[in-house]
Structure 1
Amino acid sequence: MLPKDSMANTFLVSIVLCIVCSLLVSSAAVALKPRQERNKLLDQQRNIIAAAGLVEDPAALSGKEIEKLFADRIERKLVDLQTGEFVEGADPKYDPRKAAKDPRQRVPVEGSFDIGVRFREPMTWVYLVKNEQGEVEQIVLPIYGMGLWSVLYGYIAIDKDLRTVRGLTFYEHGETPGLGGEVENPVWKAKWVGKQIWEEGKPRTDEFLRIGVAKGSPPPALQPYQVDGLSGATITSRGVSTMLQYWFSSQGFGPFINRLASQQGASDGSSQS
């Protein structure tokens, strides 16, 4: 037996303590992982509910209320961004963020709308929001793009007419509080409701994209499509504009939206006055 005050005994005790502590930390991490995953999912679902405007105060919902509302009113489907088609037999664990970083899957971000990232995922999840009769009344789409300091991640809800914004929310970013961070301001987010994505009377094509953030206040001709810029946050405002234009373009959700419009028999807008 080693003497209690020997260097060897001290070393042995230290090793044992390290092993025990490591086991405790590992066990705690494993035990907490399911709860962490559930909280992450609930936060995502809460933001989708917020974008769709299904309740006045999504932050007040309990976890069970979120799960019930999501199960009753929202259907998640995977979309191939190139073809615009729903993916049959989709893996429910498919992670768009991981796919965007995977050299075997990722797709270069191209076109005239620079969102500040080099690659995107080939497929992503969209959320069909239904009324009490089970009819799709709006669609929530994930969006992201570079602001001033960070990539902003959010959701935008569009009406069943596939032209009108129903809501917008950002749930992750590193913009400056009080400046670019005002993308979270409820007053500013409310201004997006009712905005049109493409020019009225024109097809849903890239050349007629009009949605965006103005520099200051939008002129009368652009008021149906744009909101006021964020004071002191020109680069963040520009980033939000470019992000929205990219994701509604032919490089983003354009093929999906036009396919839906064709299937639903919805007008592309070209016959409107």
Structure 2
Amino acid sequence: MNRDSNSYTFFFAAIMVIVVAGILSFTAISLKPTQDNNVKKEKMQNILSTVGITVERKDAEEAFKKYIVDQISLKKDGTVDENTDAFAIDLAKEVKKTDTDQRYPLYVAQLDGKKYYIIPLRGNGLWDAIWGYISLNDDLNTVKGAVFDHKGETPGLGAEITKAYFQQRFTDEKIFDKSGNFVGVSVVKGYNGGDNKDDNEVSAISGATITSRGVSNMIQERLAHYIPYFETVNPKIAEALKN
């Protein structure tokens, strides 16, 4: 074949495309188990961080097995679905289903003789999805800790939800008001409640109103699905909600 011809150029280019595509495909397939394992361990790290346990990625699985004593998949009515692996639930896909078809993962941690309940979160920010985890003390009302992440929020504004100073605002907040009504925790612009932990509110991020509102909505919407289960665990909640 004439190397100076157009046909040779096209043939050579086609061969190179096939070879490069093959190499990239092989690399992607080869790395996928490692990537999946890293995602798994990062998820474990985030779950543990809500109850104050910070570990390196390499130690995440061991710590998870030590402190997470139960993983529960709940149905809409608060009953347990024994046939669904809670950890395997992909919340990004799950939230697109109807409430009845969804399964709601719940993690139970045991630490220093105390029990904590950890709920995965998923919602919408300004530009794209936001997500995270929030843990509750065994009263199923007081927040132990929270961690948030995002896909495309603005650096220095909405992206600040990943920072410790913002996440720490949720510690010791309540998800039920003084009358026993479930209200979640609202992220409020211009909040002036100081260190009040009984008003169900925290201060919003300056200049990130929509992302802050997204965090509020995410917490309220996700936690609401767990109330039927909470009522079975803590009779005081069931009694308060009846009144």
Query: Which TM-score band (shorter chain)?
Result: 0.7 to 0.9
For the Cα contact (< 8 Å) 1:73–1:132, is it kept in 2?
Answer: no
The aligned counterpart of 2:82 is 88
Aligned to 2:166: 188
Structure 1 residues 8-87: aligned runs within 5 Å: 8-55=7-54, 58=55, 61=56, 63-74=57-68, 75-80=70-75, 82-87=76-81
SS in 2 for 1:217: coil
Q: Which digits, 9 at most, give the CA deviation of each residue in 1:156-187, with x for residues without a partner? A: 11111101000011122422222222222212
How has the CA–CA distance of structure 1 residues 190 and 261 changed in structure 2, closer, same or farther, with 3 Å as cutoff? Answer: same
Check 1:125–1:53 CA distance in 2 against 1; reply closer, same or farther (3 A cut).
same
**3-state SS of 2:234 partner:** helix
Q: Any runs of at least 4 consecutive aligned residues in structure 1 with deviations exceeding 6 A, and if so which?
A: none
Instruction: Determine if contact 2:52/2:145 at 8 Å carries over to the other structure.
Output: yes
Residue 146 of structure 1: aligned partner: 124
For structure 2, the 5+ residue unaligned runs are none
Matching of residue 123 in structure 1 with residue 103 in structure 2: yes
Q: Which amino acid is the alignment partner of residue 256 of structure 1? A: Y
Q: Measure how far apart 1:3 and its partner are.
A: 3.7
Alignment partner of 1:239 is 2:190: no
Percent identical pairs in the alignment equals 29
Give the aligned CA root-mean-square deviation in angstroms. Answer: 2.8
SS where residue 53 of structure 1 aligns?
coil
Residues 217 and 95 of structure 1, relative CA distance in 2, 3 Å threshold: closer
Q: Distance in 2 between matches of 1:177 and 1:22?
A: 34
**1:107 partnered with 2:107:** no
Q: By how many angstroms is 1:217 displaced? A: 2.4
Q: TM-score, normalised by structure 2?
A: 0.84
Instruction: Please state how far the C-alpha of 1:138 moved relative to its aligned partner.
Output: 0.5
Q: 1:192 to 1:254 in 2, by over 3 A?
A: same
**What letter is aligned with 1:97?**
A
Query: What TM-score do you get using the length of structure 1 for normalisation?
Result: 0.76
Post-superposition offset of 1:228: 1.7
Give unpaired runs (5+ residues) of structure 1: 109-119
Aligned counterparts of 2:93 and 2:148: Cα–Cα separation in 1: 20
Give CA deviations for 1:102-149 in whole Å, capped at 9, x if unaligned. Answer: xxxx116xxxxxxxxxxx97113221112366xx61011011222333
Aligned to 2:230: 257
> 2:187 touches 2:203 (CA, 8 Å); kept in 1?
yes
Residue number among 104, 121, 137 corresponding to 1:159 in the alignment: 137
How many residue pairs match? The answer is 238
Letter in 2 for 1:25: L
Shift of 1:40: 1.2
Q: 1:172 aligns with which of 150, 171, 180?
A: 150
Question: Taking structure 1 as reference, are residues 268 and 94 closer, same or farther at Cα in structure 2, changes over 3 Å only?
Answer: closer
- Mark the CA change 1:121 to 1:98 in structure 2 (over 3 Å): closer, same or farther: farther
- The structure with the greater share of residues assigned to helix is 2
Separation in 2, partners of 1:93, 1:220 = 39
Residues 6, 267 of structure 1: CA spacing in aligned structure 2 closer, same or farther, 3 A cutoff? closer
Aligned-partner Cα distance in 2 for 1:161–1:146: 28
| CA distance in 2: counterparts of 1:241 and 1:16, whole angstroms | 53
